[in-house]
Amino acid sequence: MSKEQDINIVRFGPEGEDERRGELIDLMNNCPIPKEELLLNTGLFLTPQTLSRVLYMDHLYKKILNTQGIVMEFGCRWGQNLSLFSSMRGIYEPFNRLRKIVGFDTFSGFVDVSDEDGGEMKKGAYSVTQGYEVYLDKLLKLQEQESPLDHLTKYELVKGDVCETVPQYIKDHPETIVALAYFDLDLYTPTKAVIDAIRDRIPKGAVIAFDEINDPACPGETLALLESFGINNFRIERYQYNARTSYFVYE
Ligand SMILES: C[S@@+](CC[C@H](N)C(=O)[O-])C[C@H]1O[C@@H](n2cnc3c(N)ncnc32)[C@H](O)[C@@H]1O
């Protein structure tokens, strides 16, 4: 495992991966494809790991098509999943104006860590570049314009500590029903706080997904699940093409 010092992320790749990826990134940065054809060819740079995550998000999204409610990602960071969900809405249910996609993050990394998180996670880790949420907002706006009903804004970015922003969001949007909750906060305290805040808003058939349960690097996420929903009550499924991620359908 190596650690990126600048933005402080935990990585699990083998030695030599950085050099190989570096070459791919150089090719991406120096791509000779003309601008007007670039977006059509972004698949050129998808590694199996990234593609398997895209397929996983697709797997989850398809499961909520018949369930009323919005999509919430807790810990959206650079926002790739939000963008994918937006495209999936455009593909699978272009006229579902109620399928809002809401991303929560501090956009400045972990607020704090607790004893339940083990020693691997560090305060301030997984931050983003200064003002990234402004960039992401523009990107999601444009992404939304690629699908029908683009005159309606159907996404939202909520900046701040989820322990405060999620309960506030529910207060401000009393109509909220959650069809898909994607947990990627990595930590015990915020994961538990969010589950407590949205628990009453989860209907049967909703998909509750976790990025890091059963992961020794982030024990806090499993502990939060254990204490809030329990793990005997649900079939905790994994997506066979992706090692880490898990989900259950709320029944
Ligand atoms: C592993 S990253 C998320 C990665 C992202 N979901 C993806 O798929 O690329 C974890 C994120 O959780 C956020 N986070 C952790 N604790 C938080 C809290 N209390 N409030 C808001 N965001 C938090 C971090 O800022 C970080 O962006």
pLDDT (tens digit per residue) in 162-176: 999 999 999 999 999
What is the distance in A from the centroid of ligand 1 to the CA of 226?
20
Q: Of 194, 135, 206, 205, which is closest to residue 160 (Cα–Cα)?
A: 194
Q: Is the CB of 237 within 6 Å of ligand 1? A: no
Q: Is the CB of 228 within 6 Å of ligand 1? A: no
Considering the domain architecture, whether residues 174 and 234 belong to the same structural domain is answered as yes
d(CA 48, CA 242): 10
Could you state, in chain order, the average pLDDT of each consecutive group of 10 residues for the chain (251 residues)?
54 75 93 97 95 97 98 98 98 98 98 96 96 98 96 98 98 98 98 98 98 95 96 93 92 92
Site to substitute for ligand 1 among 126, 159, 162, most atoms within 8 A of C-beta: 126
Q: Is the CB of 110 within 6 Å of ligand 1? A: yes
pLDDT (tens digit per residue) in 139-160: 999 999 999 999 999 999 999 9
Q: How many CB atoms lie within 10 A of CB 106?
A: 21
pLDDT (0 to 100) of residue 1: 33
What is the distance in A from the centroid of ligand 1 to the CA of 36?
33
Considering the domain architecture, whether residues 150 and 201 belong to the same structural domain is answered as yes
pLDDT (0 to 100) of residue 52: 96
Q: What is the residue range of 2's domain? A: 1-45
pLDDT (0 to 100) of residue 6: 57
Q: Is the CB of 77 within 6 Å of ligand 1? A: yes
Residue 76's contacts (CB-CB under 8 Å, 6 or more residues apart) are: 82, 103, 104, 105, 157, 184
pLDDT (0 to 100) of residue 215: 94
pLDDT (0 to 100) of residue 92: 98
Considering the domain architecture, whether residues 74 and 119 belong to the same structural domain is answered as yes
Domain-ending residue, one of 30, 45, 60? 45
Considering the domain architecture, whether residues 37 and 70 belong to the same structural domain is answered as no
Q: What is the CATH number of the domain that holds 93?
A: 3.40.50.150
| H runs (alpha helix) in the chain | 17-29, 35-38, 48-63, 80-92, 132-144, 162-172, 188-198, 219-228
pLDDT (0 to 100) of residue 2: 36
Q: Is the CB of 126 within 6 Å of ligand 1? A: yes
Considering the domain architecture, whether residues 61 and 6 belong to the same structural domain is answered as no
Domain count, the chain: 2
Q: Which residue has the CA at smallest separation from atom 16 of ligand 1?
A: 110
pLDDT (0 to 100) of residue 219: 97
Q: Is the CB of 208 within 6 Å of ligand 1? A: no
d(CA 83, CA 155): 10
Considering the domain architecture, whether residues 25 and 143 belong to the same structural domain is answered as no
Q: Is the CB of 191 within 6 Å of ligand 1? A: no
Residue 107 alpha carbon, nearest atom of ligand 1: 25
